[in-house]
Amino acid sequence: MPEIVDVSLLIQRKPDYQVEITVQGVINFSANEVVETYELSIELRGEDGNLDNIPTNDPPGDEKLYQFEWEAATIWGTIYVPYLQFTALDAGPRKFSETRSLPSSLLNEDEGLMFYPGIGIKPIFWSKRDELYAVATLKQALSSGTSNIVKGYF
């Protein structure tokens, strides 16, 4: 199976409470993996750190915050799928880079405010810092076929 290496996440603030998310990496293909079809999926996750004030109803593990999607043409029109399907044409490294613009509120992994006593009587509140990472997954695309329709009273 091909190996995904050097995955990086870049988040840039944009106007109007938007962020631009870029996930990059390299997929290494060996000679026996060429001419096979693969599906690349990318998701953003929020890490639950030791200092996070995690509510008791929070499910275990890190939260999936966003799933990248790609357009796919079908006989019914364009749909969005959670993977990019491609065929490996050459052995060796193949770089990928995917960018999406999202509302910054989507990345609010640690909701709520931090409270610190201020000087005098005025306390200080600010948003909790979020810890985000990207996961790039590659799987071999499955192939299926459909038979003819047989009509009758069975």
CATH number reported for the structural domain that contains residue 29 in this entry: 2.60.40
Which residues does 68 contact at the CB level (< 8 Å), separation at least 6?
23, 41, 42, 43, 82, 98, 100
**Mean pLDDT over each residue of the chain, to the nearest integer:** 82
Rounded Cα gap, residues 38 and 96, in angstroms: 13
With left for phi above 0 and alpha for psi between -120 and 50, is residue 124 left, alpha or beta? beta
Whether residue 148 lies inside any domain: the answer is no
Under the banding of pLDDT at 50, 70 and 90, the label for residue 51 is: low
Asked whether residue 106 is domain-assigned, the answer is yes
Assigned domain for 150 exists: no
CA distance 71 to 146: 24
Query: Does 9 have pLDDT greater than 80?
Result: yes
Structure-model confidence comparison of residues 38 and 152, the more confident one: 38
Tally the domains of the chain: 1
In a domain, 153, yes or no: no
Confidence at residue 151, expressed as pLDDT on a 0 to 100 scale: 74
Of residues 143 and 126, more confidence is placed in 143
Distance CA 2, CA 25 (A): 13
Q: What is the pLDDT of residues 71-111, one digit of tens each?
A: 988 888 899 999 999 999 999 999 999 999 999 888 776 56
At 148, the pLDDT band (50, 70, 90 cuts) reads: confident
On whether residue 45 sits in a domain, the answer given is: yes
Range of the domain at 49: 3-140
Reported as a pLDDT band with limits 50, 70 and 90, residue 128 is low
Residue 27 inside a domain? The answer is: yes
Q: Which helix (H) or strand (E) holds 45?
A: strand 37-46
Residue 89 falls inside a structural domain: yes
Digit-coded pLDDT (tens) for 23-34? 999 999 999 999
pLDDT at residue 59 above 70? no
Q: Is the pLDDT of residue 119 over 70?
A: no
Q: Is the pLDDT of residue 112 over 80?
A: no
Structural domain includes residue 145: no
